[in-house]
Structure 1
Amino acid sequence: MNPILDAQQTHTSIRQYTNKAIDEDLLRKLIQCAQGAASSSFIQAYSIVQVTNTENRQQIAELSGGQKWVETSAEFLVICADLTRVEQCSLQQGLGPLEGNTEHFIAATTDATFMAQNLMLGAESVGLGAVFIGGIRNDPAQVSELLNLPDQVFPIFGLCLGYPDAEPEIKPRLPIDAILHKDRYDTSSCIKDISDYDAQMQSYYQSRDSNHKSSNWSIQTANAVQKKKREHMLPFLQKRGFLKC
């Protein structure tokens, strides 16, 4: 093993933080290093909004479903897919404005996500804790208004950063054989894989030091996707200039 592999396998979401501030130079260095992530055709279609305004952080915490760590973390960043610079390049080269192609949406979203994962891994490597906040998509229009986001930009998720004040247990992941397929996708063991993993996760939830509950992966997953559809996202994205064709 090496430090990077160790960090990847020991990741936990941190929602409790000390009062220690993050040095601004360190934060900028972490972001600079995160920019080393892969980028589709090197378009680097992302931006980060560092939210320091207390009232804005309070509002975003409420919009995200009462996630108080948005307020209490040392730093709260909003990771955005951003095609504004890409469109400017297109205009300067005489190729016209962007037309809301699905491919461009995918490229910008993956660019931003790769960069954000790099940022989290880098932060954890220097002793910081972090958690992504998908709850900002509960009301992306309000978040966009608070942060003055222009068209061709949308907030994908937030990122809390700070020095950990908790040590949650590591959640067991799906076994490698459940996600790794050779040459052809094989569904023959899907039901058994889920059943075995459910038993493992139920044991984990009942045995961890805090937040005991009787649940498993299937219950959590079904509720996460079927009760959190956020059907407002498509019209919101189309209004912003995405997913029109």
Structure 2
Amino acid sequence: MTNPTELLRSRYGEIPFNPEIEWNDSLTALLSHRSIRSYLSDPLPPGTLELLIAAAQSASTSSNLQTWSVVAVEDQQRKEELSKLAGNQAHIKQVPLFLVWLADLARLSYVADSRGISHDALEYLEMFVMATIDATLAAQNAAVAAESLGLGTVYIGGIRNRPQEVAEILNLPSSVYAVFGLCVGYPNPEVEAAIKPRLPQSAILHRETYKFAEQEEAIAHYNDIIKEFYTEQKMNVPGDFFPNPLFFDFSFSSEIS
């Protein structure tokens, strides 16, 4: 799907506006994103991983501190172990490449120690947040790059379900934690994945100051759109998407769509 109007209709369940800006391939790639949860076992071409990491390292990073790392997992047994820890999500086992994105303050700590410099600032909450953001920006660049190569992706938030066990499997040092995982592989053509509608822009776009005024109407409208989407996809239709009880129950295995 490359038609701008149809892409916008898929993303919002309707045509929210008529874009007057000249369209391009980057916009098509971004608006075409969908989560893939069924993969072929086909290996990725040589150099693919390194290219994805180059894209990741091209993302913005606060003060050029680059407070992130990533573990590329291709070993089947290790993928199976991580799958169990992340809520038994089958696609982690299916996919040829599973990337675990890390907020990494250990490298800065090592550099400071090796130079006899104090690194008390690494204990600040701001550094924890900064490392998490750095990892997230890098991962999103990699995901977009992967999709541009015809690969499918899905983020795995459930990797945070059992952080200590994940750290042991990946041999993570102190001051490093797994933010999320990312499946990368060729989508199974027999399992169709649709573009999931998002909230209306009136719910998330605030001009100048934050406004609650249109939230109730926007959420009600979104509930109608997402129910129709689930019905069309022959999926179980939940109650109102908002409030969704999953968001208040942290026992569930999170997965980012």
Q: Same fold (TM over 0.5)?
A: yes
Distance 1:52 1:125 in 2: 21
- Which secondary structure does the structure 1 equivalent of 2:26 belong to? helix
Structure 1's 11 and 42: CA in aligned 2 closer, same or farther, altered over 3 A?
same
> Which residue of 156, 159, 179 corresponds with 1:156?
179
Note the C-alpha offset of 1:84.
1.4
What do the CA deviations read for 1:129-161 (whole angstroms, capped 9, x no partner)? 000111111101000001100001000111100
- Which secondary structure does the structure 2 equivalent of 1:218 belong to? coil
Distance 2:197 2:158 in 1: 23
The answer to which of 52-61 and 86-95 deviates more is 86-95
> Which residue of 105, 122, 141 corresponds with 1:83?
105
- Which secondary structure does the structure 2 equivalent of 1:79 belong to? strand
Residue of structure 1 in register with 2:241 after alignment: 217
Structure 1's 15 and 197: CA in aligned 2 closer, same or farther, altered over 3 A?
same
Q: TM-score, normalised by structure 2?
A: 0.83
In the alignment of these two chains, the number of paired residues is: 227
Residue of structure 1 in register with 2:59 after alignment: 37
The letter of the residue matching 1:83 is L
- Which secondary structure does the structure 2 equivalent of 1:158 belong to? strand
The letter of the residue matching 2:150 is G
Residue of structure 1 in register with 2:148 after alignment: 125
Q: CA RMSD in A?
A: 1.6
Q: TM-score, normalised by structure 1?
A: 0.87
Residue of structure 1 in register with 2:6 after alignment: none
Note the C-alpha offset of 1:19.
2.2
> Which residue of 87, 92, 96 corresponds with 1:74?
96
The letter of the residue matching 1:136 is I
Residue of structure 1 in register with 2:164 after alignment: 141
The letter of the residue matching 1:30 is L
Residue of structure 1 in register with 2:14 after alignment: none
Note the C-alpha offset of 1:216.
3.9
Tell me whether 1:177 sits opposite 2:177 in the alignment: no
Note the C-alpha offset of 1:24.
3.2
Distance 2:34 2:239 in 1: 19
Note the C-alpha offset of 1:20.
1.4
Note the C-alpha offset of 1:94.
4.5
- Would you say the 8 A contact 1:137–1:155 is kept in 2? yes
Distance 2:177 2:167 in 1: 7
The letter of the residue matching 1:178 is A
Q: Structure 2 unaligned segments of length 5 or more: list them.
A: 1-22, 253-257
Note the C-alpha offset of 1:229.
6.1
Give the fraction of aligned pairs with identical amino acids, expressed as a percent.
Answer: 37
Distance 2:194 2:240 in 1: 16
